[in-house]
Amino acid sequence: MMLTTVLLVVCSLFASTFSAPVAPPPVRASSATTVNTPIGTAQGVLDGSGSAVRFAVKYASADRFASSKVSTAWTFPNNGTDPSALPLPCPQLGLDDSQLDEDCLSMLLFVPPSFNPPSPGSPGMPVMMWIHGGSFIVGSATAPGLDGSNLALATNSIVAVIQYRLGAFGFLSPDGTNNNAVRDVMNALQFLQNNVASFGGNPDLITIAGQSSGATMVRALLAVPEAEPLFKQAILQSDPMDFGFLSTTTQSTLQSYFASQLPSSCTLTDPSCLSTSSLLSTSMATFGAAGSLDPAAGTFSPMRPVHDGSLLTSSLDLTSLPSFPTQSKSILITNVLDEATMAIYSLNRDLIPEAQFPTAVGGTFDKNRTSTILGSSFYKTPPPQNGQSSQTVDARVQLADLGTDYLWKCPGWSFARLFETFGGHVFVGTWFVGQTYPGNEQVSECLESGVVCHQDDIEMVFGTVDNPSDEQKAVILEMQARYKMFLLTGNPNVPAFESWQEVEAKVDGDVRAKKLGGQGLVDVGSCSPDFWGEEVQYDYQVFGI
CATH number at residue 91: 3.40.50.1820
**Residues of 233-254 as b/e, b for ≥16 C-beta within 10 angstroms?**
bbbbbbbbbbbbbbbbebbbbb
Q: How confident is the model at residue 6 (pLDDT cuts 50, 70, 90)?
A: very low
Q: Can you give the residue range of the structural domain that contains 196?
A: 3-125+134-241+303-324
pLDDT of residue 7: 41
Looking at the domain assignment, is residue 540 inside a domain?
A: no
Looking at the domain assignment, is residue 192 inside a domain?
A: yes
Decide: 132 and 139 in contact? Cβ < 8 Å: yes
Looking at the domain assignment, is residue 47 inside a domain?
A: yes
Decide: 224 and 182 in contact? Cβ < 8 Å: yes
Looking at the domain assignment, is residue 469 inside a domain?
A: no
CA 17 remoteness from chain centre: 15
Looking at the domain assignment, is residue 152 inside a domain?
A: yes
Average pLDDT, integer, range 507-516: 88
Strands 106-111 and 201-211: unpaired
| Number of independent structural domains in the chain | 1
CA dihedral 131, 118, 44, 14 (to 10 degrees): 10
Average pLDDT, integer, range 49-70: 91
Of 20-34, 86-100, 219-233, 386-400, the poorest mean pLDDT is in 20-34
Residue 15 has pLDDT above 60, yes or no: no
Q: Give the start-end residues of each E strand in 133-200.
A: 158-162
Residue 489 has pLDDT above 70, yes or no: yes
What is the tens place of the pLDDT at every residue in 179-216?
A: 999 999 999 999 999 999 999 999 999 999 999 999 99
Q: How confident is the model at residue 297 (pLDDT cuts 50, 70, 90)?
A: very high
* Mean predicted lDDT score pLDDT of the chain: 90
pLDDT of residue 120: 66
Looking at the domain assignment, is residue 453 inside a domain?
A: no
pLDDT of residue 180: 97
SS3 511: coil
What is the tens place of the pLDDT at every residue in 434-461?
A: 999 999 999 999 999 999 999 999 999 9
What is the tens place of the pLDDT at every residue in 257-267?
A: 999 998 888 88
Looking at the domain assignment, is residue 316 inside a domain?
A: yes
Of 19-33, 44-58, 70-84, 470-484, the poorest mean pLDDT is in 19-33
Q: Residue 43 phi/psi, 5° resolution? A: -125, 125
Looking at the domain assignment, is residue 116 inside a domain?
A: yes
